[in-house]
């Protein structure tokens, strides 16, 4: 099937749009105009054929070509519509979740940094003697020597009071336990996180992933530039044909 073309009376409009619009946007507008004109012209041709002749005179040679053009233009416009709406929805989804995750990250970072000093609700999680410092200290002990220093760390602490002991004894034991192990646990968590991030950075640098992604991005950029240059060349050829057509028309009218 030949590539559909726009009628000549739309050439001034296309020239004006090509002067004021960027090349990618102009190509999108040109494609939409071509598909719309093909859709309307094929619909008009098909309707005129059906109306002007009786059903007994209908044949495939006159009905199938405009029908194929009509379906092709319709599906092209439908594909463009679905692609555009999907792109818009995806963009807004990325923006929405990016903002949500950014605020969550800021809130978690603020609470982790200030939870133990300002008495916030996460003190039991990240504060002195909380869950994360304890787990971090345990993991750090395993990484540094398989928990060899565990007996020394707990040997100097007081034994936990029984349930029937007084409230003052429980509070004193909590104060001493948190005071001895909390800061070490927090430092352990920070060290473990730093080791994880450093290891991830080394894997990315040594594995060649960054160079591969960079090469793919450069190839995509070169391909896009080549396509834009090709379309600009087609646009210049179309303008030249339009100018020659207008000049021939003016010469014929003058004669």
Q: Please report the pLDDT score of residue 146 as a whole number.
A: 47
- Domain ranges for the chain, please list them: 1-125
Supply the pTM of this predicted model: 0.40
Confidence (pLDDT) at 92: 93
Q: Which two tokens stand for residue 42?
A: 């094929």
In tens, the pLDDT along 32-46 reads 888 888 888 888 888
Distances (CA, A) of 98 to 94, 102, 111, 124: 6, 6, 20, 29
Q: What's the pLDDT score for residue 32?
A: 83
What percentage of the chain exceeds 70 in pLDDT? 53
Residue 135's nearest CA partner among 185, 191, 193, 194 is: 185
Taking a C-beta distance cutoff of 8 angstroms, is the pair 239, 15 a contact? Answer: yes
């Amino acid at each position: 099937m030949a590539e559909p073309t726009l009628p000549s009376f739309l050439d001034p409009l296309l020239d004006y749009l090509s002067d004021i619009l960027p090349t990618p946007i102009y190509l999108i507008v040109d494609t939409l105009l071509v598909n719309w004109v093909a859709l309307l012209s094929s619909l008009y041709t098909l309707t005129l054929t059906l109306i002007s002749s009786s059903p007994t005179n209908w044949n495939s040679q006159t009905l199938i070509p405009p029908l194929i053009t009509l379906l092709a233009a319709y599906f092209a416009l439908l594909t463009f519509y679905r692609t555009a709406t999907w792109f818009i929805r995806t963009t807004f989804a990325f923006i929405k979740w990016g903002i949500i995750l950014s605020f969550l990250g800021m809130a978690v970072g603020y609470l982790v940094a200030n939870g133990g000093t300002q008495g916030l609700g996460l003190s039991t999680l990240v504060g002195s003697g909380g869950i994360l410092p304890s787990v971090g200290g345990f993991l750090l002990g395993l990484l540094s020597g398989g928990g060899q220093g565990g007996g020394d760390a707990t040997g100097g602490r007081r034994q936990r009071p029984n349930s029937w002991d007084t409230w003052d004894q429980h509070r004193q034991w909590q104060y001493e336990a948190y005071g001895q192990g909390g800061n070490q646990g927090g430092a352990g968590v920070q060290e473990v996180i730093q080791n994880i991030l450093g290891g991830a950075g080394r894997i990315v640098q040594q594995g060649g992933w960054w160079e591969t992604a960079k090469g793919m991005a450069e190839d995509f950029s070169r391909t896009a530039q080549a396509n834009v240059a090709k379309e600009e060349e087609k646009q210049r050829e179309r303008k030249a044909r339009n100018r020659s057509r207008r000049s021939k028309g003016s010469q014929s009218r003058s004669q």
